[in-house]
Every structure is written in structure tokens, then in C-alpha cells.
Amino acid sequence: MKRGIPLLFVALVGLVGVLVNDDAAQVARAQAPDGLFVPIAPQRLIDTRKSRDPFTISSVGSNRDIDLVGNLEIGADTKSSVIGVFVNITVLDATTSGFVTVFPSSRSRPNSSIVNFTPNDISSNGFFIATPSGSASRFSMVSESGISGQANVILDVAGIVTSDVAVNDAARLVAVLPNRVFDSRRGAVVGPHSLTRVDFTNDEQGVVAVAINITVDNWRKNSLATFIGLVSDEKSVLPETSLINVERRETKSNFSIIPVDETGHAVFFNSEGETNLIIDQVGYFTTDQLAAATSGRIVLLDTPFRVLDSRPSSLGPGQQVTWDFQPFILSLGSSRIGLENSRVFFGNFTAVNVRRRAAGLRVADYITIFPTGTARPDTSNMTVGDGQTLANSGLFMVSDTGLDIYNDDGYADYLLDVSAVVTG
């Protein structure tokens, strides 16, 4: 049964609107100007395993400020135009459970989260971070157990958002309905130390990157803990960064934006054991018609904003709910060019405290998010098990009437945080 999840109080303030949720201090603000995405060769900016300087975790949030843009290896002219970055953050070796949120150091900590982590697990997520001039990026590690601890953090930057249309490979986004472009379960097994070349070609010109949801189904007899990385071609050395890390007997998904070569292909590396690799494409970035098109430009929020929090209600087996996107987009300011026609956003969806429907039944739940009024696709945004709290970012399309969230099995609370919207 569908049931609406109401957004709370909406207020319009000048050209940049604010939407207030249940915490009166939390508002959604669109950063100006908007920008274009530029894929870069992935760069690892943080690896506390090597620096031996783990992040601390506390119940009030332990903070660390990092100059993400200043540490990037890109040209000075390009660096001066950067208004945001796309990163993949991995948390491992945590001694207590908690979550990570990232925001400009000049802002208050939002009530949103980027990555949820637990002891003895590896958690990762890809997402956009706004980088306003003069403000470092503040990483806050919050303990949910009330127990202080520490964790290792790995941060890879895979792309930038630039305000300068002249930057090489600056591209606008074209969102597509989820399309399964690769599924090794229907063909050859992905083996250890293997390279898998995936075709993302279409009829469009100037495609430099694609937005994907990557899933690793690591339940094969010869599966081992592994990671999936990206290499430039089949002759490349091993990747220094990772897209997703998965333990043995685990299925995990992660959202990513990856560059493609001039033929529209990308090459994935599997580190250890045999596994199954599933890739769904949800968009592509093209340099075509940049001057003429106002659509496909990224409008970053200055901090991620929580638009949905079902707690204490839960989504049950086979249930579906609808979120009305329009009040939120109007709150950001309809006078922004293209914003009033926006039907696409980047967000982070979190399934919280997944429970089985009956004692003795194993939960193998998946959640699919898709435009209201369209057929539910055969793809999924995440796969979760009993007792898990799991986050996965994504590129989400909405219809005029909103966005549907479908839960296949078990019971789950759910959260949705928005980090950027895309002009229409």
C-alpha cells in the first residue's frame, strides 16, 4: 500500500530557498553557481592505514578538516574553478558502530549521513561534496553506540564539479532509467586478478563518463574478500584506488561515476577469488551541446539535506511509498535557470535496522527506487540482510508526481539525504 511521506515546513527566501525539516536548525540551500562534471583519474587523498592516523569516533562527533581541492593533482586554472568533488569514502577497522557526515567547515553539522559503519565490516559510498571557497571539508565521525572509538578511512576523488565551461572534458549529465549493462551471472565468472571490459556505448556524442550502480555478489564457492577497482585499459598496472570492497559471503552495492575511453568502454579489476559483478547504468556525462543546453548542470547543496526519515514507521515486505519531489525543488528557488524543470537529483539512501518478517526466515532484501507512475525496473539500488544498516548513494529520476521506494522483503526504516540536484 502506498502512503505519502510528507515534507515538513517549506519556506522560500529570495533567490535561494530553504526547506526546513524536523530540526529547525537544518535548512536546504542551493550553492551558486551551478557546474559541470569533469572526470579525473582517481586520486587517493587519504589512507589512514598508511599514515597510521585513524579517525576518532565519539557520540558528539569527532571532526577532522581536510582541504580536498588544495590536495588534488590538477592544473591551477582548473583548481580555481572547482565548486565540488565526487568522492568514494571507505571506512574499515572501526571499533564501534556509527556514521560519517561531511560538510563545509564554515557550516553547522547537518543531520544527514554519508556512510554507516560497524565493527568488523568495510563500508563505502560514493557521493558529491560541495567545496565553497575558503572552507575546508569537515569529516565528522559519530558514534551510534555512545562508545568512543576509532576507524581507518580511505578517500578517493574520482571527479570534480567546475563552474568553468572551458575546462577540458567538462560535461553535462543525461540521466537514464536504470539499465543493466553487465551481469556476470549470465556468463563467465569474474576470477581473481582478472580484468573485465564493459561496454557503455550509445548513440550520443562526446561521452566522457557514466554514472553506475555496481553490485558484487560474493557468494561463490571460491569467493574471498575482494575489491573492485578501475584501470585505464587491459595493459594497465593494478589500480591504486577502489570502487567497492566486499567480504566473502556478502552482497554489496555502491554508486560511482567512472570515466570511459573514446570507444565508450571501461575496464574493471577484481582483486581476489571468484565473484559475480553486476553493473546498472543510470546516466552519462557528455561534452556535446554545452553552450546550447541549460539542462544537465549540477546544483550542489552546501550541505547534504535529509528529506525523508521514516522512523518510527517501517517499510514492510512488498510495500512501496511515494515522495513528492516538487515542494523540495521549489524551496531551492524556482528562479534558478533550469531548476524549476529539475527531475533528477543525487542522494544517499539508507536502510536502517533491517528485520526479518518472521523468526527463522533469512532476509535477502533489496530496495528499488524509481519514478512514480513508471514500471518498477528489474534493477535494485541496494541489497541488505537481517540486522544491517546500509547506505548507498545514487542518481535518482523523479516524475511529475514524485519518486517511489519499493522494499522487497523484511522490514526496514529508511532515510534519504539529497546532496545535489540537476537542472532540467
Q: Which three cell numbers stand for residue 409?
A: 522483503
User: Between the CA atoms of 353, 356, 362 and 365, what dihedral angle is there, to the nearest 10 degrees?
Assistant: -60
* The predicted structure's pLDDT at residue 232: 83
Q: How many CB atoms sit inside 10 A of residue 265's CB?
A: 13
**What are 31-43's pLDDT values in tens digits?**
878 999 999 989 9
* The predicted structure's pLDDT at residue 155: 96
**What are 49-73's pLDDT values in tens digits?**
999 999 999 999 999 999 999 999 9
Name the least confident of 78-92, 144-158, 161-175, 379-393.
379-393
Query: 310 burial class (0-12, 13-18, 19+ CB within 10 angstroms)?
Result: middle
**What are 145-192's pLDDT values in tens digits?**
899 999 999 999 999 999 999 999 999 999 998 889 999 998 888 999
Q: Can you tell me the distance from the alpha carbon of 95 to that of 98, in angstroms, rounded to the nearest whole number?
A: 10
Which CATH code, of 3.30.450, 1.10.287, 2.60.40, 2.60.120, is assigned to 172-286? Answer: 2.60.120
Q: Which residue has the higher pLDDT, 144 or 353?
A: 144
Are the C-beta atoms of 200 and 213 separated by less than 8 Å? no
Are the C-beta atoms of 389 and 353 separated by less than 8 Å? yes
pLDDT at position 219 over 50: yes
**What are 283-334's pLDDT values in tens digits?**
999 999 888 888 999 999 989 999 999 988 889 999 999 999 999 988 887 5
For the segment 370-391, the average pLDDT, to the nearest whole number, is 86
- Closest by CA position to 132, among listed 200, 61, 83: 83
In which band, very low, low, confident or very high, does the pLDDT at 357 lie, cut at 50, 70 and 90? low
User: Between the CA atoms of 269, 275, 276 and 282, what dihedral angle is there, to the nearest 10 degrees?
Assistant: -40
326-356 burial: b if 16+ Cβ within 10 Å, else e:
eebbebbbeebebbeebbbbbbbbbbbebbb
Q: Can you tell me the distance from the alpha carbon of 7 to that of 21, in angstroms, rounded to the nearest whole number?
A: 7
Domain positions in the chain are 36-162, 172-286, 292-422
Q: What percent of the chain has pLDDT over 70?
A: 91
pLDDT at position 244 over 50: yes
* The predicted structure's pLDDT at residue 32: 75
pLDDT at position 363 over 80: no
* The predicted structure's pLDDT at residue 260: 96
In which band, very low, low, confident or very high, does the pLDDT at 7 lie, cut at 50, 70 and 90? very low
In which band, very low, low, confident or very high, does the pLDDT at 384 lie, cut at 50, 70 and 90? confident
Q: Can you tell me the distance from the alpha carbon of 121 to that of 351, in angstroms, rounded to the nearest whole number?
A: 16
Are the C-beta atoms of 257 and 37 separated by less than 8 Å? yes
Q: Which three cell numbers stand for residue 72?
A: 588534488
CATH 2.60.120.340 correct for 292-422 = yes
* The predicted structure's pLDDT at residue 332: 86
* The predicted structure's pLDDT at residue 26: 60
Q: Which element (helix H / strand E) includes 281?
A: strand 276-286
In which band, very low, low, confident or very high, does the pLDDT at 335 lie, cut at 50, 70 and 90? low
Are the C-beta atoms of 324 and 281 separated by less than 8 Å? no
Q: Can you tell me the distance from the alpha carbon of 50 to that of 195, in angstroms, rounded to the nearest whole number?
A: 26
Q: Which element (helix H / strand E) includes 157?
A: strand 149-162
The reply to whether 172-286 shares the fold of 36-162 is: yes
Q: Which residue has the higher pLDDT, 106 or 82?
A: 82
Which CATH code, of 2.60.40, 2.60.120, 2.60.460, 2.30.30, is assigned to 36-162? Answer: 2.60.120
* The predicted structure's pLDDT at residue 185: 93
For the segment 364-377, the average pLDDT, to the nearest whole number, is 88
For 108, residues 6+ apart whose C-beta sits below 8 A from its C-beta are 25, 303
pLDDT at position 195 over 80: yes
pLDDT at position 12 over 50: no
